[in-house]
Amino acid sequence: MASDPTYPSRRRFLQTLAALGAAGMLPAGLTAPASFPVLTRPITSSGEHIPAIGMGTWQTFDVGGDRYRVADRAQVLRTFLQLGGGLVDSSPMYGSSEQVLGECLAQLDDSEGLFAATKVWTPGQWLGKRQMEKSRQLWGLPRFDLMQIHNMLDWETHLETLKAWKAEGRIRYIGITTSHGRRHDDLAAALTAEPFDFVQFTYNLLDREAEQRLLPLAAERGIAVIINRPFQRGDLFSHVRGHALPDWAAEFDCANWAQFFLKFIVSHPAVSCAIPATSRVDHMRENMGALHGRLPDAAMRQRMIRHMEAL
């Protein structure tokens, strides 16, 4: 089971309660706010807590120039924040996603709770600084909470800049990412050599390679873990197509396959946050249901693995 969660502000909590009620997602027997916590995890380097379900933007927010689709994405972002979300992850690599995020944030009446995370993805120190400043302008923020080195590109050069910017208060946390299993050895070496606050990599029910080295190493080093590709680019949904959610999923308050996949990830003790991406409000509501209720314990996690392998 997860460690004791913390609670959002009263105003955001009531927004969450109202939104979930409208979506028909309130747990049975809910009668008071005190019975409805949001699952959060600590950032080990600071003790600050973040919600365990975040939001990715790869492909889904790359809709620049289409004002109708931008308005749709603003509603997706609004729903994410209303339902208790915090960490939003993007990158200059993701086409117009950062521009669209900035336009969406400008449309919101309230972005309370936003934990803004992006990446530097270019060779060279000067180009890296220029790119990060452009990202800040696109988002329309005074600073980022988290700046990550995307796919380890020229990581030692950028790390020097990020350390200086963190010391100056221009960013709050430093991270490094990969989405390629072939880079796991290189990533492990970087995590061992340098004091990163965050690391991001792939982990899900169809790709559990990170269990072998990266997750234990992050726990040992006190590094917060962000999980990308939690649905394996949609492959997990294809894997279960035509199959009903098992009845025993109710034992960890799971109402749909999205929550099944996400609760498996965030129930790992080394994981801080999973970042599914979606362009649909109804899918966002399904994802955010994983922020509430019980999580599978170690025995249940093994049952989930066996179930997926048997399909």
Share of the chain above pLDDT 90, in %: 85
- Between CA 33 and CA 44 the distance in angstroms is 28
Which residue bears the tokens 């117009």?
96
The band of 179, judged by pLDDT with boundaries at 50, 70 and 90, is confident
pLDDT computed for residue 17 by the predictor: 54
- Between CA 144 and CA 56 the distance in angstroms is 16
Share of the chain above pLDDT 70, in %: 88
Q: Average pLDDT, whole number, for the chain?
A: 91
- Between CA 13 and CA 178 the distance in angstroms is 34
**pLDDT: which is higher, 1 or 140:** 140
pLDDT over 80 at 190, yes or no: yes
pLDDT over 50 at 3, yes or no: no
pLDDT over 70 at 49, yes or no: yes
Q: What is the pLDDT of residues 221-270, one digit of tens each?
A: 999 999 999 999 999 999 999 999 999 999 999 999 999 999 999 999 99
Give Cα 152 to chain centroid, integer Å.
Answer: 19
pLDDT over 70 at 21, yes or no: no
pLDDT over 90 at 7, yes or no: no
- Between CA 224 and CA 226 the distance in angstroms is 7
The band of 183, judged by pLDDT with boundaries at 50, 70 and 90, is confident
Taking CA 13 as the corner, what is the angle to CA 60 and CA 79, rounded to the nearest 5 degrees? 20
Please say whether the beta carbons of 151 and 177 come within 8 A: yes
Q: Picking from 20-24, 110-114, 235-239, 297-301, which range would have the lowest pLDDT averaged per residue?
A: 20-24
- Between CA 189 and CA 172 the distance in angstroms is 23
Which residue bears the tokens 């060279």?
124
The band of 13, judged by pLDDT with boundaries at 50, 70 and 90, is low
Please say whether the beta carbons of 21 and 10 come within 8 A: no
pLDDT computed for residue 36 by the predictor: 60
pLDDT over 60 at 8, yes or no: no
Could you tell me the two tokens for 213?
């080295």
Please say whether the beta carbons of 142 and 131 come within 8 A: no
pLDDT computed for residue 10 by the predictor: 44
Kindly state the helix (H) or strand (E) to which residue 188 belongs, with its residue range: helix 184-193
The region that residue 38 occupies, defined by phi over 0 for left and psi between -120 and 50 for alpha, beta otherwise, is beta
Could you tell me the two tokens for 262?
């996400």
pLDDT computed for residue 180 by the predictor: 75
- Between CA 85 and CA 117 the distance in angstroms is 13
* Of 84, 138, 146, the residue nearest 113 (C-alpha): 84
* Of 173, 112, 180, 184, the residue nearest 148 (C-alpha): 173
| CATH architecture of the domain formed by 50-310 | Alpha-Beta Barrel (3.20)
Mean predicted confidence (pLDDT) in 136-165:
97
